[in-house]
Structure 1
Amino acid sequence: MDFLRAGVRRHTFARIQCRQLHLLQNKAYVEGKWISAGSGNVFKVENPADDSLIAKVPDMGAADAKKAIDAAAEAFKSWKNTTPKERSNILRCWYEIVEANSKDLAAIVTAESGKPLSESYGELAYGNSFLDWFADCARHVKGEMILSPWPNKQIMVTRQPVGVVSVITPWNFPFAMITRKVGALLAAGCTCVVKPSEDTPLTALAAIQLAEQAGVPKGVINVITSSRKNVAEVGKVLCEDPHVRLISFTGSTVVGKVLSAHAAKGVKRVGLELGGNAPFIVFPSADIGRALDHAMLAKFRNNGQACVGANRFLIHEDVYDQFVNGFKEHIQKKCKLGPGTHEGVTCGPLINLEQAKKVSSFVEDAVNKGARTLVGGRFATDLGNKFFESTLIDNVKPGMKVYHDEVFGPVASVIKVKSEEEALEIANSTKHGLAAYVFTKDLGQAFRMSRDLEFGMVAINDGILSTAEAPFGGIKESGIGREGSMHGVEEYTEIKYTLMSGLEK
């Protein structure tokens, strides 16, 4: 196993001893065994803060994916017949073990994702809340008895687990996206194969070590790892194999469409949580101080690399100057860029060079077309090649990419609006429909915005809306289905109708 070398720069995890990296794993997990790729190939997982090597993990291909699916299919035969109480107890145990190992997990999350340790702890608390929640939900999956239109007959409706689930997760929340999906499907009685992002596979492998300790039987959860080179062939198998009955994916809309096309060949169900382009709307009646504080949360959490992150700030002309000046001041005071292990850092590096270049291109495009940079707008090259300054731009127009497309980085664009109608028109003028944020003290306006915004989730006077108890998901090209809440468990069940007849004797 390749650990961080003692000679790397001071701000890497060399100072975090093996005590905090004992969960670091360099094998994939299939049928309860830690295994290598059939080819023997590996790929590197690097720290985005300084490109230092953390570990090498198996570079698996189609044959490895098939092996993992077969293991999940075999395990489903027995797992589907476990009682809800048994599944609940295992999920509760997993939750408790994660709680006990949060420090070690946080070190791995920060090492491979680059986010500050404080945010890694926050993600672990959030992600573990799903295990806590789904441990309860497991015992509350219900059917129903429906009054029959015929005498001496009874209509019974039950929910049964859908079967083997392919789980494909992103790099921005490498722990929470595992637990939000796997916790729900386990509660429903399904088994799975997890393919984490090639940028952040180590968190998934660490989480599954703890699931194994919690008593999850072999084959119920399987984790395969693959590089970008093999991801297409692995994804195809995960979608088209006949044993797989549902594909759960969080990531870009482009990839979501590809996976949907593969799944359609077998008429398989899909759960898709895709891109977002969240508006952040501030009206004259709003508490501007509160709006500013929550703007920082909605925009710069995980350095803007969040699907529900605010992208377009639509500010009413009556409070525009006040908000923009305040936002600029907040960014300058509260955004501290640096390696995630440094004390006080609030914004780490972007995940990879491709992402860094993409964010930079958005700003360059806007500035070239007349936008004005109020704060940031450049790489902090003294820190490394993936550190981009927290940025605020105004004078944003429809012809600019930031006006229509999701940035997925630390760039906030402000647009002046004259009315509620204009704010709605701009907010809804996107193919995405995941999250929206509205700040107003006008109750009628709050209800109108909730009704008229074409988004699956709307937060009124708050910049953080995700919680295990609420249904998370979008409309339009932002996805299909819901995660979290009781609805999140039901996504992994099939409804069966049984007619009981001949009951007259």
Structure 2
Amino acid sequence: MTRLASSRAPKLNDPSLFKTDVCYVNGEWVKAASGKTFEVNDPATGDFIGTCPEFTGKDTENAIAAAAAAFPSFRTKTGREKARLLRKWYDLVVENSDDLAKLITWENGKPFADAKGEVAYAASFFEWFSEEAPRIYGDSIPATVPGNRVVTIKQPVGVCGLITPWNFPAAMVTRKLGPALAAGCTVVVKTPGETPFTALALAELAHRAGIPKGVVNFVTTLKNTPEVGETLATHPTVRKVSFTGSTAVGRLLMKQASPTLKILSMELGGNAPFIVFDDADVDAAVAGAIASKFRSSGQTCVCANRIYVQKGIYDEFAQKFAEKVKGFKVGNGFDEGITHGPLIHDRAVSKVEAHIKDAEKKGGKVVVGGQKLPDLGANFYQPTVITGMTKEMAIAGEETFGPVAGLFPFATEQEVVDLANSAEVGLAGYFFSRDLERITRVAEALEVGMVGINTGLISDTASPFGGVKQSGFGREGSKYGIDEYLNIKTITWGGMNKPLQS
């Protein structure tokens, strides 16, 4: 029996961007060979959105074959040709930004204003890498052997498997696609099972932009996610895998990719420290913490997870921070004035609840929130502030990925740096201070890949994004992002020291 989407389904300006029951492979819209599909539901209402193909490993192999067939031709395109293709795709994303944002809010739940911001951010990667494509430079290197000449050129690595998460359904796709295509690679994108429709809309826009068939391929799956991931990680034709997701899955993919020695980029879990020193501008620090902690209801990998406040201003900060959180308006992302939407699913709600109960059991005090919001829907939870946090609590060592802010007091600079660096992961870190000497010391001492100083927002197309320790390796965005998709080839030739002919 055919199911109908909820009456609250958004009205798209271009309904053809909403692709159901099909994936994009080799320039065509195809179904899974088995005909099987999976359902996607609105996290705000629980209502049915649509179905997508349940791709298998075999289906994914067909997509890999399409990418491999397209690679020899695409790799030879000039930088300017690739730039024009990416620029056209960028223009189409901008032209359809309203519809893309509606799809994001519908399947992800984030407020519509946030979704609009994500689309602009997503488009910026196509624009940025359209400008990088013509600027893939090699070097001329003075040789130590007389008569030899040494030059380097950069060439695309080949077919790439791109595995993306649900929390940024557009931006995490384009942040990988932009540099891959600018470098001359062809790709298979594995979309998240929770939020596939935004990615499929991007595929439709790629088709309209004239991206050659087989250059970009989009596959969907839910139940078969491990199988599809393993296919991308083990297939000998795939030369690189870029993954954004949990550290545990990253470890598994590394193991699976090891027999074929694939190039890997891994943007994995975080547990970001957010430090406020006594000399900070407290109001600015509160605003920064709000932006960092509660963006997308705390469901970002660079969200502040542990908020450390020096004892001299702890009470003032806690009071002002709690007042701001009390002003949030939680609800359906399409409703007017909503600041925060639902969590993605019931498992996310359970983790939030477990972290709060653990903190309370160990002496923490919930000063704002701490309850489900069943009247709104099963996936809604109050934005929560907990004071009196200690390092023994679960939040100190685990990423919550939800709207819970735990405030930890600290005494000295050395103490808080040690606490911040105690995590196994190291993606992002933040601190607020007006002491220039301290700023230099702490920025260099934090064991993270990205540091925000006197700001709670660090994402920027121009800025390299990535972590250290068990947050992974490789960088996305910026001038460095394209290097992740290029091999350096050295060319040496001799006999160049003969005298000029008279």
Same fold (TM over 0.5): yes
Q: Which residue of 1 aligns with 2:201?
A: 206
Q: Which residue of 2 aligns with 1:247?
A: 241
Structure 2 counterpart of 1:212, one-letter code: H
CA contact (8 A) 1:2 1:56 kept: no
Q: How does 1:110-121 map to 2 (within 5 A)?
A: 110-121=105-116
Q: CA deviation at 1:5?
A: 3.4
SS at match of 1:90: helix
SS at match of 2:415: helix
Q: Distance in 2 between matches of 1:45 and 1:477?
A: 31
Q: Which residue of 2 aligns with 1:361?
A: 354
2:278 maps to 1:284: yes
2:430 maps to 1:429: no
Q: CA deviation at 1:504?
A: 3.7
Picking from 485, 490, 496, the partner of 1:492 is: 485
SS at match of 1:138: helix
Q: Distance in 2 between matches of 1:150 and 1:20?
A: 63
Deviations 1:274-326 (A, max 9, x none): 01101110011111111111111101100000000001110001111110000
Q: Which residue of 1 aligns with 2:228?
A: 234
SS at match of 1:192: strand
Q: Distance in 2 between matches of 1:80 and 1:88?
A: 13
The change in CA–CA distance for 1:193 and 1:2 in structure 2 (over 3 A counts) is farther
SS at match of 1:319: helix
Q: CA deviation at 1:348?
A: 0.4
CA contact (8 A) 2:426 2:447 kept: yes
Calculate percent identity across the aligned residue pairs: 44
Q: Which residue of 2 aligns with 1:352?
A: 345
Q: Distance in 2 between matches of 1:158 and 1:357?
A: 51
Structure 1 counterpart of 2:227, one-letter code: E
Structure 2 counterpart of 1:184, one-letter code: P
Q: Distance in 1 between matches of 2:287 and 2:359?
A: 25
The runs of at least 4 consecutive aligned structure 1 residues that moved more than 4 Å come to none
Q: How does 1:216-227 map to 2 (within 5 A)?
A: 216-227=211-222
Picking from 409, 413, 420, the partner of 1:420 is: 413
Structure 1 counterpart of 2:159, one-letter code: V
Q: Distance in 1 between matches of 2:15 and 2:372?
A: 30
Picking from 318, 326, 330, the partner of 2:312 is: 318
CA contact (8 A) 2:12 2:102 kept: no
Q: CA deviation at 1:475?
A: 0.1
Q: CA deviation at 1:208?
A: 1.1
Q: How does 1:471-490 map to 2 (within 5 A)?
A: 471-490=464-483
Q: Distance in 1 between matches of 2:164 and 2:348?
A: 17
Q: Distance in 2 between matches of 1:371 and 1:355?
A: 21
Q: Which residue of 2 aligns with 1:127?
A: 122
Deviations 1:135-162 (A, max 9, x none): 1011111100000112221011111100
Q: Distance in 2 between matches of 1:166 and 1:186?
A: 12
CA contact (8 A) 1:373 1:392 kept: yes
2:180 maps to 1:179: no
Deviations 1:153-185 (A, max 9, x none): 101111110000000000000100000000010
Q: How does 1:52-67 map to 2 (within 5 A)?
A: 52-67=47-62
2:73 maps to 1:72: no
Deviations 1:24-46 (A, max 9, x none): 10110000010000100000011
CA contact (8 A) 1:146 1:155 kept: yes
Q: Which residue of 2 aligns with 1:138?
A: 133
Deviations 1:114-140 (A, max 9, x none): 000000001001111111100101111
Picking from 104, 107, 117, the partner of 1:109 is: 104
Ranges in structure 2 where 5+ consecutive residues have no aligned partner: none
Q: CA deviation at 1:19?
A: 2.9
Q: Which residue of 1 aligns with 2:91?
A: 96
- Aligned residue pair count: 496
The change in CA–CA distance for 1:2 and 1:187 in structure 2 (over 3 A counts) is farther
CA contact (8 A) 1:109 1:203 kept: yes
CA contact (8 A) 1:20 1:103 kept: no
Q: Which residue of 2 aligns with 1:4?
A: 5
Deviations 1:428-459 (A, max 9, x none): 01001000011001111111111100000001
Structure 1 counterpart of 2:432, one-letter code: F
Q: Which residue of 2 aligns with 1:9?
A: none
Q: Which residue of 2 aligns with 1:161?
A: 156
Q: Which residue of 2 aligns with 1:263?
A: 257
Picking from 366, 370, 387, the partner of 1:373 is: 366
2:297 maps to 1:303: yes
Structure 1 counterpart of 2:428, one-letter code: A
CA contact (8 A) 1:338 1:347 kept: yes
Q: Distance in 2 between matches of 1:453 and 1:17?
A: 46
Deviations 1:58-89 (A, max 9, x none): 00101001000011011111100000000001
Q: Distance in 2 between matches of 1:316 and 1:437?
A: 14
Q: CA deviation at 1:93?
A: 0.7
SS at match of 1:465: coil
Q: Distance in 1 between matches of 2:71 and 2:4?
A: 36
Picking from 439, 449, 455, the partner of 1:446 is: 439
Q: How does 1:325-404 map to 2 (within 5 A)?
A: 325-333=319-327, 335-404=328-397
Q: Distance in 2 between matches of 1:285 and 1:320?
A: 12
Ranges in structure 1 where 5+ consecutive residues have no aligned partner: 7-11
Q: Which shows bigger deviation, 237-246 or 367-376?
A: 367-376
Structure 1 counterpart of 2:73, one-letter code: S
Q: Distance in 2 between matches of 1:63 and 1:284?
A: 58
Structure 1 counterpart of 2:119, one-letter code: L
